[in-house]
Amino acid sequence: MQITVKLFATLRTNRFKAENREYPEGSTVLDVANDLDIPKEELAITMVNGIILEPETVLQDGDTLSIFPPVGGG
């Protein structure tokens, strides 16, 4: 299935900003993170189609997954 993966802040270093990528059916957020060598502690905020969901969430074809390291501001 096709997943649009968007990475932000330090996660872009040596990776990419946004890519359409192919993953097997049933893949979770965590599977994508593992595929991209993103350690779990860097997985601070994960959004699927703009909604914050747990890393265990199973993705659907056509989803947009946005991954942020720990960030904040005001």
Partner 1 sequence: MGSVLGKVLRVNLTTGAISTEELSAELSKAFIGGRGLAGKMLADEIPAGIDALSEENKLFFVTGPLTGTAAPTGGRYMVVTKSPLNDVIASSNSGGFWGAELKFAGYDLLVVEGKAKEPVYISIKDDQIEVKPAGHVWGKNTNETTDMLLEEFGDPKARVANIGTAGEQLSRIACIMNDRWRAAGRSGVGAVMGSKNLKAIVVRGTNKVDVADPDKFKETVKEVMQKIKENGVTGQGLPAYGTAVLVNIINEAGIFPTNNFQTGVFNKADEISGEAIAEKYLKKKDPCYRCPIACGRYCVVDGEEGGGPEYETVWAFGSDCGVSDLKAIIKANNACNEVGVDTISAGATIAAAMELAQRGMVKSDELNGGPELTWGNGQAVIEWVKRMGDKEGFGKKLAMGSARLTEAYGAPELSMTVKKLELPAYDPRGLMGHGLQYATANRGGCHVRGYMVSPEILGLPEALDRFSLDGKAEWVKIFQDLTTAIDSSGLCLFTSFAFGADDYANLLTAATGNTYTAEDVLAAGDRGFNVERLFNLQEGYTAADDTLPKRLLEEPMPEGPTKGHVHPLDKLLPKYYEVRGWDAEGVPTEDKKKALGL
Where does this chain bind partner 1 (CB under 8 A)? 6, 8-10, 12, 17, 41, 44-45, 47, 49-52, 66, 68-74
Question: By the 8 A CB rule, do 66 and 9 touch?
Answer: no
User: What CA dihedral angle connects 58, 3, 42 and 46, to 10 degrees?
Assistant: -60
Question: What's the min distance (Å) between Cβ of 10 and partner 1?
Answer: 6
Quick one: 31 or 42, whose CB is closer to partner 1? Answer: 42
Quick one: 26 or 74, whose CB is closer to partner 1? Answer: 74
Which among 73, 51, 67 is positioned nearest to 6, based on CA atoms?
A: 67
